[in-house]
Structures are given as structure tokens and as C-alpha cells.
Amino acid sequence: MPSRSPIVIISSYPPRLCGIATFAEEAREFIQERHPERQVLVISHTDGAGDGVRPIIDMSQPDWWKPVVEEIERLSPHAVHIQHEYGLYEYHDPEGRGDGNQGFLELLSALTAWPVVVEPHTIHGRLRDHEAHFVREMTARADVVLFKCHYQKWRLDWTFGAREWVTPTNIMVVPHGARPDRRWTLPEVAQLKHELGFSDLPYLGKHFVGLVGWIQRNKRWDILTSMWEEVAEEIRAATGQEWDLLAAGEMRDPNDREEYAKYRNDLTILQRKGLAHFYEFIPRGDLYYKVMACCDFVVLPSIDETQSGTLARIIALNKPFITTAPMEGLTAQTIESKGGLLFSTKPMLREHVIRLASDEQLRLDLGENLKHYLDNVIAWPIVTAQYDQAYDMARHSTTTGQQVVVPPEF
């Protein structure tokens, strides 16, 4: 049994349908694997659940953070690792006015006795005013702050310099982790298609282009669905092969219901023509990986993303991909991994889809690049080792009172 002080993650957590919750669940698994000697516990919002989860964050209360501080003091942790997204910690008063994440900053101020690492999931390259002020206050209160991408760190120097602010030195770049243990062979993929029922659908061929993940307005599945019938015909003429569109996922935000209905309607029309299939599922756990494994390559047509859990799963499976550019972390990881193609217009997307479907060697080459990137840069065991470095730096800062200094990017 673990006998040392625990690592405590503060985050949203399943069963909440939230990308940060899914991230925290997977990160916790690999942090625990690295630290069998410690408990890895979670302080979550009230809708979190599970073994070792304390669901005490009640965002209906302006002082929601006070019970969190009390629990941290009781647990006396080795490190406090906070997953941050603006919407997770925004208190709204009865008139609907938000507090600008002020409660989150008060939480950090109250945790100065403990080693605190904050991992923000939204750091835009060009920060809006309220984001810039928040990042300034957050980095001043946390011991270590983890950005996901290098561009976020070097762009911050420009942003802060333009405001004549001192750039914080406690920012470390740690990428979005990806599983190294979900790579299936071709025979195993054939079995997965049978398990998920795809092999039983007579209108589906052997080759799938995937649209997989949460269905929401910024993912813009319609960019591909609107052209798919013509694209499928061009692929058939060029290769003699039948390629189908596999769209799989579920709506997360009720505000996206209109887009969800439109996407479903477009897919229903394509499905009636034998060109596509919609598979409804909640994108988390093993099923997420199994569905994506059935695709020959994946299209991720997001129009607003700083980094993406969907892309992390694409890379985990070494699947070639096509995504939007310029688009923050999606573009950065595509360039760094050399595992995908970028588009900025509909004709480019069309060209890339046809090219990838027609060129098996290109798919193999991109997949091999992703394998190298996964094994050497973003596999969870590598990322959790970097988490440990952050925990050690935070502990040293808490003990000595010395500010953490991480070298700048440039």
C-alpha cells in the first residue's frame, strides 16, 4: 500500500462529459503507474466520482475554493497538480455576472504553503486582455505553470513585453500526453471492426476516413461532409477502391445542439447513399481508441483549438491526419510530429483527402513519423517524468522561497 504523501490533482473528472475530465482521468492513470508508492487523489467538481475522488468543488458558491484548501491541508500532499480551463472555475452570481476566475486566484493564494503546479489548457498565442491579466496573476501565485506548446511560451514573452510586464520564469513546456499502449495490428483492427459492428454493414467498404470525437460547433464536421460525395467518387476513380466516411462521437454541450442536428442530417443523407456511417458513442476510454483505430486516417477540421485531446489519440494510434492551419497547437504539433497534412481552404482539404486515400506509402510514412514522435516526445511515461521535474521544482521553491527559473525558449 502507498505510504508516502499523496499527489493531489484538482480538476473536473468523469463522469462529467468534459475534455479536461477525460484528460485528468488518463493523466492520473499514468502518474499513478509512475508512483506506486503514493496515492494519486483527485479533488473534483461535485459531479466527479470514483475511487480516490473528492467531489467538493461547488461552483454555485462564491467561496467554492475554501473547502478545497481545507482538504489540501488535511491531505498534506507531495504536490498539488491543478488542471485549469476558464469555464471550470468561473463563479456566476445570481445576476449571471462572472468573477473572471477570481476564486481560482484566491485558491492559489491560499495554497502557498504547498507545492503547486498549474496546467492551463487554454493559452492562446495572442492573449485577450483578460487572459493576459489572468496569466500574469496565475504565474505569480503558482510555483510552476505547465504550457502545452513551445509557441505559447515564446509568444508570452512578446505579449508581456508589449505591456511592459516582466515575463514569468516559472513556465515549463510539457506536451499533452498520449498513450503508448493502444497500437493495434491490421488483423486486430479487422477484429475491432467486427466487434463494433462495422463489418456487418454492407454499405461500408474496407477503408475509412474518420471524423471522431466530441461533436461541437468549433469542430466543423460539415466542411468535409459537404464535399464527401464528390471526394469519394474521385478516390474511386483514382484508386478503384471504395472509401467511406466514418463519423463517430456525441454532443457534449447543449448549446451545440443546432450544429449536432445539422451534422447528423448531413450524415444521414450520405449514409442512405452508402457513403458514410454515423456511430454514436461517448468519446472516452478504450472505445474512443477502438473507433479511431478503424480509420485509415482522420480529419480534424477544428476552427478554434489551442491543443487537442482528439489529436493526442490520433497520435497514440499513429494515424495520419489532416487538420486546419494556422490553428494554434494543432498546427504546432503537426509541424513537430511530421505526421499530418495542413489545410487552410476547402480545396486544400479536398486535395489532401484524395491524396492520402490514394497514396498508401504516404500514409505509412506519416504513421512512422507519428510513432517516432510518440515514442520520443509525448508518450505518457515521458510526460509524467516531466511532471515529476515540475513537482520537484515546486517543492524546492516552497521549501526555500526561491522562485523557479526555467530557461526561455529563445
List phi, psi (to 5°) of 83: -90, 125
Q: Cα–Cα distance between 52 and 8 in angstroms, integer?
A: 10
Question: Does residue 326 have a cis bond before it (omega within 30 degrees)?
Answer: yes
Q: Quick one: average pLDDT of 177-200?
A: 95
Residues 37-52 have a mean pLDDT of 98
Q: Distance between CA 298 and CA 370 in Å, rounded?
A: 13
What is the rounded average pLDDT for all residues in the chain? 95
Q: What pLDDT was estimated at residue 217?
A: 84
Mean pLDDT over 60-73 rounds to 98
List strands edge to edge, sheet with 243-251.
276-280, 243-251, 207-215, 297-300, 321-324, 340-343
Rg value, the chain, Cα: 22
Q: Which residues contact 95 (CB under 8 A, 6 or more apart)?
A: none
C-alpha torsion sign, points 156, 157, 161, 165: positive
With b for 16 or more beta-carbon neighbours within 10 A and e for fewer, the 43-63 pattern comes to bbbeebeeeebbbbbebeeee
CB 353 within 8 A of CB 322: yes
What does the pLDDT read at residue 307? Answer: 73
Please say whether the beta carbons of 271 and 278 come within 8 A.
yes
Quote the CA–CA distance of 65 and 89 in Å, as a whole number: 9
Q: What angle (nearest 5°) sits at the alpha carbon of residue 267, between those of residues 262 and 273?
A: 140
- Asked if 53 and 16 count as a contact pair (C-beta separation under 8 A), the reply is no
Least confident of 1-15, 38-52, 69-83: 1-15
Q: Is 166 exposed, middle or buried (0-12, 13-18, 19+ CB in 10 A)?
A: exposed
DSSP string, 319-358: --EEEESS-HHHHHHHHHHT-EEEESSHHHHHHHHHHHHH
Cell numbers describing residue 272: 442512405
Q: What is the pLDDT of residue 410?
A: 84
State how far the Cα of 410 lies from the Cα of 407, in Å rounded to an integer: 9
d(C-alpha 192, C-alpha 204), whole Å: 14
Q: Is the pLDDT of residue 3 over 80?
A: no
**Sorting pLDDT into bands at 50, 70 and 90, what band is 215?**
confident
> How far are the Cα atoms of 104, 147, 175 from residue 386, in angstroms, in the given order?
24, 12, 9
Average confidence (pLDDT) over 157-171: 96
Segment 115-134 shows an average pLDDT of 96
Mean pLDDT, range 100-115, rounded to an integer? 98
Answer whether 301's CB lies under 8 Å from 220's CB.
yes
pLDDT, residue 89, reads 98
Write the pLDDT tens digit of every residue in 348-407.
999 999 999 999 999 999 999 999 999 999 999 999 999 999 999 999 999 999 999 999
DSSP state, residue 210:
E
Domains parsed from the chain with CATH numbers? 4-177+380-400 (3.40.50.2000), 186-378 (3.40.50.2000)
Given the C-alpha cell 459492428, which residue does it identify?
A: 197
> Which residues, 6+ apart, have CB-to-CB distance to 161 below 8 Å?
167
Residue 143, pLDDT > 80, answer: yes
Q: Which residues pair with 82 in a beta bridge?
A: 10, 118
131 contacts 99 by C-beta, under 8 angstroms: no
Residue pair 8/43 in contact (Cβ under 8 Å)? The answer is: yes
Asked if residue 390 lies in contact with residue 146, where contact means CB atoms within 8 angstroms, the answer is yes
Distance CA 312, CA 323 (A): 13
Calpha distance 360→197 (Å, rounded): 25
pLDDT at 1: 47
Q: Which three cell numbers stand for residue 8?
A: 493531489
Q: Is the peptide bond before 283 cis (omega within 30 degrees of 0)?
A: no
Residue 304 has pLDDT above 90, yes or no: no
